[in-house]
Structure formats: structure tokens, C-alpha cells
Chain A
């Protein structure tokens, strides 16, 4: 994994928020779902930032904001030093691409692999010739480990792992600097997962890509990332380097999350922390820490006031860090 860090972050987000209005019945007032309620992060070239958390914590919303599919409700996002406004989306699209979770839905079933790969070029570089586009697509096919004869086939003729390779190849067609990986391996078999992860590591080394890796699978994160953000209900609760987090999680939620990861060592003593209660609804805006209702360390202070992310190298949003 690359340790090289350039000085300026390639993506930088400050207080990123995304709310959705939900109509609840015909006449009642629409409610606000705080899918993402203020997230900061910096992503450097050649590095991988993992975002982990349970379902509904805002991971995928974050991915949609960074890939400019949706506009943030508040907060600022800058890519390559330039602030992102909807008017610049078209020009910035080339530097951010995404790989989706389900490779069975992310390839157009009516297009051949060659067409799928060349489409980003047709759209974004209309002055390129058909020969150039094809050469580039074939090169990319080779880079992700597929054979040249796959060029003229349809997506339904491939396995999940191969489709995910095609999806990665398509994402790389525009030479992006940032790749958002939205659970890229969670739909694949374990044996295929490692192949895809190795491919991603290999591509990162070769092309100096920055990855925003969204996952709920901590064992994958452990092998793959430099820095980890743990999210809970739209907020980051802990941000730390991979080694720090796995060695010593400081937020109770991060610790609980880590304790549920299966370990391959049958001798190891497992202290699994069983959380009680449910994830609070993102519609009620709790005054205190969102995790307080399920936390075994919560005090009155936790319920009354929201802790902010604090710390230098590793940050945690908790009044009683472990």
C-alpha cells in the first residue's frame, strides 16, 4: 500500500450534509431525514480512506455526494483544490468515478463490453477517434485482467467477479484521480473478493489513485485501507489510521463494531459486545450523542450534549473515550 502522501488533499470535505424531505401522508408537514449530518474528511492521492458503519448510517449518501450525483444540502466539497458547485460538475466528473456494489445492475445489459467501456470517452472526449477509443478500451480490458475477446460480449455472459472488473475498467476509462468504491466486493464470493481487492491495490500503485472505500465489512477494510472513518447515523464518530483503530478503538460504537468481526483464530477469546436497542430514526434530531441510547457508558451529559470530533491524529466524538 502506498505511503506516499502529497501535501494537498485531493478531496476535501467540510461539514458535508445531505437532508431529504420525506412526505408523511397527504396533509402533514414533510419530515427531514438527516442522511448525512456533517462529515469532514481529507483524501490524499494514492491513499485509501475507508468509511464504515452499519446500514443507514449515510455511507452511500456520502458516495453520492462525492461523485456529484447529488448536491449537498450544506457544507463544502472541494476536489483537486477547486470547490465543487453544480455548474462545475461536468468538468469535475472526469476526476471522480464510482464502482457500485452490485455488478449485476451496474452494466447496461443491452450494450457490449466494448461499448460500455468506450461510452465515457464518447461522452467526455467527443474529439477522440473511434480507433483511439477502442485502443484505450482494449488496454483497460487488459489492465483489469480480462481477455481481448471479451470486448464483443454482453454483460450476461460474465461472472460477478468479471463484471466487477469490467465496472472498474469503465470507471478508469477517463483516468480519474479518485475512485469511489461503494461496497465493491460485498456482492462477491470470498475467493473473488480477494482477487478484486488485489486488483484494486495493484491499480492504486500503478496509477496513484485515491480511493474512498465504503464498506460494512471490517475484515476487508483491515487489509485495504490507510485511514478509517466510523460513521453512526450520518455523523463520523471516530477517525483514525487503520492501525490505531484496529489496535485500539476509542469510540464505544467503533469497539462494538470491531468486536463483531469474525476472527479466523478459534483459540482467541471473543468478547462480543452485543448492542441493545435499535438505530434511532434519522428523522428525530436527538440533542445528544446519537449513540447514547445504545451505549453502555452513556451519562446524562451524553444525552444532553453532542460531542464533537476531537483529537490530533486520531479523532473521536465521545465524552468518555475508551
Chain B
């Protein structure tokens, strides 16, 4: 066959892959990312259907089965596959229910931090220089604190609860989005298509949200995916320090904190929540790397 196939079919639905197909093509190349996606999918299913998936109520106490080891160990019972905790609650049920809290933390933190950060970043990218400098210095100050420390201070002010932990983590994460958005906006503003929109008479809001913002989204999506995992980690850390979710909420970090004193006697009460955090965070990070490879044109091999 020669290359000169007569002029292509005139339909708009030509063989050109849609943006999603193209994304999947690049994403699939990264095997770690695909594995991460599967683990993340399991995590999302656990979060969404935890009341139906978990064998028992996560707070129900079985007084005659305190600190039962996992089923495969001597003394284990298949009624409690991953054993029970010091109060006789089923570990598996608590882990599955914990997925829901972690997922909520991730989603809320990322959406609050990203939407706030995008708007502030966009405004400061378009603002006059003095306002831009002011915003960026404030962000630098927030970034100068170690993030967990700042979150701790905020929770100490607001009072310990899961909601306050989420608010604190969202505030701590905000500056990353602001800087990222502003940097992309400044890069895009130099380009002729923005001037072209100005010459066409585009209003400032239109210029910001219709012309510039869609071109800045790729790095923000990647940052969103990566900070999803950091948010889960920070929420777990706050929970571990007693500043996040309060018992008996089956939040993974809180579970770790409660089980600390049994670490030598009953390895499963600390290991499983820890593993759950590790696996989830790792999977999301792998997935985020794949997202970056697929969305960032600079890393794309074409």
C-alpha cells in the first residue's frame, strides 16, 4: 500500500484519538501507575461501600474475643480474618470503614486547597505587581512552616476533630496550588493567543477562566493527585497525635495511636492500619506519577 490514500473521509469523527484515548495511551505505558490505579480503585470501592463490605459494625465490641490474632495464626478465628483490637472490635471492618474517612480527607482537602489555590493564583497572576508580591510573600510565609507543625497549631486553635484536621491540612496545602497556578498563568500570559483574546475584547474574567485557566490545568491535576496522598498521610499523622479524628472513629492514624501500647504483644493491631496507609499512599503516588507523565507535554515522548 502506498501512502497516498485518497483524501481522508470527510467526517469529523475521523480516526484521530480523543483526548481521553490519548491520555490512556500515555498512562498505560507506566506499569506502576496502572497498578496504582487498580489499588486506588479497590480503595475507592471500600470507601464507597464500606457498610456493605465490612463483616461487622466497626464499633461493635466482642468482649469474649479481645486481641484475637489474625485467622492464619495460632489461636486465630476465621470469624475475624485480621484479628481484633484491644476492645474486641473486628480489624477488617475497621480498616474498610477507615478507607472512607481517608478518602473523604483526600477529596475534601484536595478540592478545597485546589479551588482556593487556583483562584488566588489566577488572581495574583493577573494582579498588579504589588498585589502579586503581597500574595506571594504571604504564601512564602505559610510555606516556611513545617507543614505538619502548622497543621498542629491550627488544630490546636480550632479544637481536635476530623473536620478541623481537614481544614488545617487544606490551609497548609493551599500555597502549593497558588504558586503552581501563578507560575503557569505568568507563562501563558506571554503567549499571543492571550493578546489575541484581548484584541477580540475579552473581559478580564473571560480571559482568566476561559482563555488562560484551561491551559494551566495539567500541572494542577498532577499536584492534586499527589497531594491526595499527602493529605491522607497528614490526617493519619494528626490522628496519631490525637489531634485528628477522635476514638472510636476507625480512622487509620487514630487506630495506630490507640494500639501503640500493644505493639509488642499484638503486632496486628498496629501493622494493618500502617500497611493500609502505606499501600494507599504508595498507590496514589504511583498513579500521580503516571498522570504527570501523561499530562505534562514536556515529559511526553511523541
Contact = CB atoms under 8 A, between A and B. Distances in A.
Query: Do A and B assemble together?
Result: yes
B59 to A, nearest CB: 48
Interface string B153-174: 0000000000000000000000
Contacts of B12: 149, 151-152
A108 B200 contact: no
A211 interface: no
Given A100-B196, A123-B206, A151-B12, A108 B201 contact: no
A98 B199 contact: yes
Which of A110, A152, A170 has most chain B Cβ within 10 Å?
Answer: A110
Contacts of B298: none
A174 B201 CA distance: 11
Contacts of B191: 105-106
A299 to B, nearest CB: 43
Interface in B184-226: 191-193, 195-203, 206, 211, 214-215
A3 B203 CA distance: 38
Contacts of A68: 199
Contacts, number: 65
Contacts of B16: 153, 157
Contacts of A106: 191-193, 195-196
A102 interface: yes
B146 interface: no
B12 to A, nearest CB: 4
Contacts of B199: 67-69, 93, 96-98
A68 B191 CA distance: 17
Interface residues of B, number: 21
B195 A69 contact: yes
B11 interface: yes
B75 interface: no
B10 interface: yes
Given A100-B192, A157-B16, A108 B197 contact: yes
B11 A108 contact: no
A93 B193 contact: no
Contacts of A2: none
Contacts of A93: 199-201
B296 to A, nearest CB: 14
A148 B12 CA distance: 9
Contacts of B198: 69
Contacts of B197: 108, 119
A131 interface: no
A81 interface: no
A268 interface: no
A15 interface: no
B195 A120 contact: no
A55 interface: no
Contact of B200 (A102, A110, A123): A123
A68 B14 CA distance: 40
Contacts of B206: 123
Contacts of A109: 193, 215
Nearest to B7: A147
Contacts of A174: 200
Contacts of A110: 214-215
B11 to A, nearest CB: 7
Contacts of A167: 196
Nearest to A98: B199
Contacts of A149: 10-12, 14
A94 B199 CA distance: 9
A102 B201 contact: no
B11 A124 contact: no
Given A149-B10, A151-B12, A152-B12, A98 B196 contact: yes
A109 B297 CA distance: 12
A101 B203 CA distance: 24
A123 B203 CA distance: 8
A107 B200 CA distance: 13
A167 B192 CA distance: 11
A68 B12 CA distance: 37
Contacts of B202: 119, 123
A264 interface: no
A90 interface: yes
Contacts of A97: 199-200
A123 B201 contact: yes
B192 A120 contact: no
Nearest to B10: A149
Contacts of A105: 191-193
Interface of A: 67-69, 90, 93-94, 96-98, 100-102, 105-110, 119-120, 123-124, 147-149, 151-153, 157, 167, 170, 174
6 closest cross-chain pairs (CB), A and B: A106-B192, A120-B200, A110-B214, A100-B192, A105-B192, A152-B12
20 contacts: A68-B199, A90-B201, A93-B199, A93-B201, A97-B199, A97-B200, A98-B199, A102-B192, A105-B193, A106-B191, A106-B193, A106-B195, A108-B215, A109-B215, A119-B197, A120-B201, A123-B201, A123-B206, A124-B201, A148-B10
